[in-house]
Amino acid sequence: MNLLFRLKQNEEGFNDIEETKDFFKNILPTRDNNYFYNVKKLKQVCADDTIYFAYAGYIVAEATFTGDRIENFERDKKYNFGHQLINIKIVQSSDKLDFKILSSRTTYLSTEEKIDAVKKALSLSLDIYPDEVESSLSEGTKTKVFVNRFERNPKARQSCLEHYGYNCQVCQFNFEKTYGKIGKDSIHVHHIIPISKIRKNYTINPIKDLLPVCPNCHLILHKKNAPTVEELKAQLDQLQGY
């Protein structure tokens, strides 16, 4: 059974969200053979279940549980029980979970309400973004797939949206105007030079490097031999007779 684990705030290694993400990204994978230690056994999770980690109401990381548990009473009593994790990923969620979902330290996702709350938080992750990449399958064939989890800078995204607003900068689609309240503040943010091509850390200029675009235009902008934003906008204008 998948689980949502609420991390205790203001402890060493977990003083804020960024420090917590650093723990899952850089520290945990380099020590203890990927065992995440806490105060008790997570008894209801099984091999291949997903454990989501929340800090200050936001999902910050997720991982797959291998099914391997160990006990180590030589550690601090708060961290006696280890659960081995794989596929550790950072989540840049912009949706704060309701307290009733986080009412206990370990929340098993056993009801539709809890599952839907987590799905919503994940669907609003700031790193959801379609990049097309080549992927080798186990049979040896290759296919193009969409991957959604490049690390993103939420402050850069917000600065971009504060400057441009929530209209698609190609076709002017606006989620809130079309879908009402449920569409408020929904939009993809397009990296003009994809991080998948840069493959290194760089300082983002939110105005020059990022643009709000709808999912349809975003998909076209990541096609092979895709047009630039300006070319796609001109093409749409021509098709619509402007």
pLDDT tens for each residue of 159-182: 899 999 999 999 999 999 999 988
pTM: 0.54
Which of 67-76, 126-135, 176-185, 210-219 has the weakest average pLDDT? 126-135
Location of structure tokens 């309400």: 113
Which of 26-40, 69-83, 141-155, 159-173 has the weakest average pLDDT? 141-155
Residue 180 Ramachandran class (φ > 0 left, ψ -120 to 50 alpha, else beta): left
Average pLDDT score, the chain: 81
pLDDT at 200 over 80: no
Which of 60-69, 132-141, 184-193, 194-203 has the weakest average pLDDT? 132-141
80-100 mean pLDDT: 86
pLDDT at 149 over 90: no
pLDDT at 63 over 90: yes
